[in-house]
Structure 1
């Protein structure tokens, strides 16, 4: 694979992104008035049916009596002739156990279900609810919009898994509210007030403002290419991109790092090479808590403990071995082949600072490191070791492209960040590392998280 080829992650077009939220809004919001109207119509029909039964009984009781019934009631001497199969024992039983009067039956029917001795109140309630739900679901005017509404919930959870949660939830809810208003206008002919439209505009505007507000401010090294070129900053940038943490970058020139970070109240770190404390990048400000942190390792621990998903293992036995051997093998190559060439992508003001401080530390000019013959000898001396480190990177290749398999670790970002730094400063150095198995696979696997470089 050509490293110059543009490798971008498969991301849906913006149109599909917007359309998905609109579909959720339609499914959630526009169906709500239809469901509400269908439920109201169903309740009205149920009330009519319940009121129709007593009226039917009253009408039956008010029907005119027949001539035979009238004669039977007005003639006291008239008694119904006994049937041939009637027996005295039956009459005695009727006298001992008289049938309940019609008034008693009517009184029992008017009692609540839980007071009727022959019926269980709980059973009656559950049965009533069950059949009410069944009959309601059998009503297409209710069931069809309900199914569409539930489908919108499925779409929403699919959106949550693919997009930033802090943006997905308010966008989906606002879209649902908008289509609820439109649905009420369509179904119930409600007039949409100006205040409602104004409120929707303000809500959507607020979402946009909140989305653009970064949670992290990343302090990075400035260069003339206006992209990140520091390997240690790239580790944090990759972690931020992978975790999809909203952030913005403040690029600092070399001479501005110390006064800027000191002005923010950040304490310097102890230098291993000099007795003077140092201010370095990366440094971050966590905006929600107004916390300032310097040093890549400390920042990585903070990000991992604050933003748990997706997780990034910060260390592993294999990762520690690869990092240690990379520093011993790859570090000298970067020192002689990359560091002296960094001056070529700095502003004149930063060049002066960089040359003055680095040459004071080295004891000679930067150009003295760029001896092509010595540089080639350095590559030849470490070639076997570089290849051996690459083989370590492929130990779990069967499980995925990263060091531990399918998911990246901080060591993956350590490797990919160093290679990307070399690519920005000196393409030829990057290409040499890219030719070794292991380095190439890790770099390509991390490419989707290098899209934001500034």
Structure 2
């Protein structure tokens, strides 16, 4: 039995009935690990600790800041069995496929290029220019973060939005309703891809009968919405009804892969 993978994720404030995990990018990796059944343990990292711990374990930056300096973000993992650190959810999935070939493959070689193209197309539809979904999700996500992470999150997200979080999408406002229509339109476009690619859109997953990494991306965004607004919210109930209930069925299929361990906080390890 291999030693558990160390998975670095960003925590949020939770009640006894909630899970700590919340962000779409880290949910991609959590789904990957859960689907593959690879043992892992979570280390919860506040935003201010992401860069120093990445450097400490040798996790590479995933992009650059406007000033050209390296930008570090979650998710990243450290594999004590190989002493390798890997950043970015796609790279992590590929690494785990290669290193643990007896587990469910999420990026089969024949699909790698197509899945990469899908990821870009999906985010272009769902997060166009950091548009509707970004505006809707940032206030909700900020409200659920631990206090230590909130100032960084507010500063960086408001810079992208060009307005305060409070102004971005007040719940129940006409502005929010228009933004949700934009998000619905994006998901509808993705549903249409499936209809053209498969037999009348009957297939639930993008890989046909089996889950591939592209599916975890869509599931991660849906889970982000559900956790941010709440299971009983009008917003989530609306999402469940889109495209004849397709996205509700899709989200439900991933429920069995939503295990979240208690983990430990970076300051404790």
Q: Tell me the TM-score range normalised by the shorter chain.
A: 0.7 to 0.9
Match of 1:444 among 238, 243, 252: 252
Correspondent of 2:56 among 251, 263, 273: 263
Higher helix fraction: Structure 1 or Structure 2? 1
1:234 aligns with 2:16: no
User: Given that residues 218 and 250 in structure 1 are in contact (C-alpha distance below 8 angstroms), is that contact kept between their aligned partners in structure 2?
Assistant: yes
Unaligned runs of 5+ in 2: 263-269
Offset of residue 235 of structure 1: 0.9
Tell me, what secondary structure is at the counterpart of 2:78?
A: strand
Contact kept in structure 1, 2:205 and 2:211, CA below 8 Å: yes
Specify whether residues 432 and 317 from structure 1 end up closer, same or farther in structure 2 by C-alpha distance, changes over 3 A only: farther
Considering Cα pairs closer than 8 Å and 6+ residues apart, tell me whether 1 or 2 has the greater RCO. Answer: 2
Deviation at 1:316, TM superposition (A): 6.2
Instruction: Find the aligned partners of 1:264 and 1:321 in 2 and give their Cα distance.
Output: 30
- Matches of 1:450 and 1:345, distance apart in 2: 19
Residues 23-38 of structure 1 aligned to structure 2 (within 5 Å): none
Change in CA separation of 1:384 and 1:351 when aligned onto 2, cut-off 3 Å = closer
Conserved in 1, the CA contact under 8 Å of 2:57 and 2:78?
no
- Give the corresponding residue for 2:141: 342
Partner of 2:225: 422
1:323 matched to 2:112? The reply is no
Q: Find the residue that maps to 1:434 and give its secondary structure.
A: helix
* 1:233-269 alpha-carbon deviations (Å, 9 max, x no partner): 1111111111100000001111111122122233323
Q: Is the 8 A contact 2:7 2:40 kept in 1?
A: yes
- Change beyond 3 A, Cα 1:289–1:381: closer
Matched, 1:412 2:220: no
Q: Determine the structure 1 residue equivalent to 2:266.
A: none
Q: Summarize deviations over 1:285-306 as a string: whole Å, max 9, x none.
A: 0110111111112111101111
Aligned positions, number? 243
Question: Which string of whole-angstrom CA distances, capped at 9 and with x for unpartnered residues, describes residues 153-210 of structure 1?
Answer: xxxxxxxxxxxxx4xxxxxxxxxxxxxxxxxxxxxxxxxxxxxxxxxxxxxxxxxxx7
Residues 283, 296 of structure 1: 8 Å contact kept: yes
1:280 to 50, 60, 73: 73
- Alpha-carbon distance between aligned partners in 1 of 2:50 and 2:215, rounded to the nearest angstrom: 27
Distance (Å, rounded) in 1 between the aligned partners of 2:21 and 2:50: 15
TM-score by structure 1 length?
0.49
Residues 80-123 of structure 1: per-residue CA shift (max 9 Å, x gap): xxxxxxxxxxxxxxxxxxxxxxxxxxxxxxxxxxxxxxxxxxxx
Q: What residue in structure 2 maps to residue 291 of structure 1? A: 84
For the pair 1:389 / 2:178, whether they are aligned, the reply is no
Per-residue CA deviation, residues 132-152 of structure 1 (Å, 9 max, x unaligned), is xxxxxxxxxxxxxxxxxxxxx
**Relative to 1, partners in 2 of residues 1:259 and 1:344: Cα closer, same or farther, differing over 3 Å?**
same
Which shows bigger deviation, 395-404 or 232-241?
395-404
5+ unaligned residues in a row in structure 1: which ranges?
1-165, 167-209
Distance, in Å, in 2 between the alignment partners of 1:219 and 1:333 is: 28
| Residues 161, 168 of structure 2: 8 Å contact kept | no
For residues 129-208 of structure 1, the aligned pairs below 5 Å read 166=1
CA distance in structure 2 between the partners assigned to 1:403 and 1:364 by the alignment: 36
Deviation at 1:344, TM superposition (A): 0.9
1:376 aligns with 2:184: no
Contact 1:393 1:439 in 2 (8 A): no
Query: Which one has a bigger Cα radius of gyration?
Result: 1
Q: TM-score, normalised by structure 2?
A: 0.79
Q: Secondary structure of 2:41's match?
A: strand
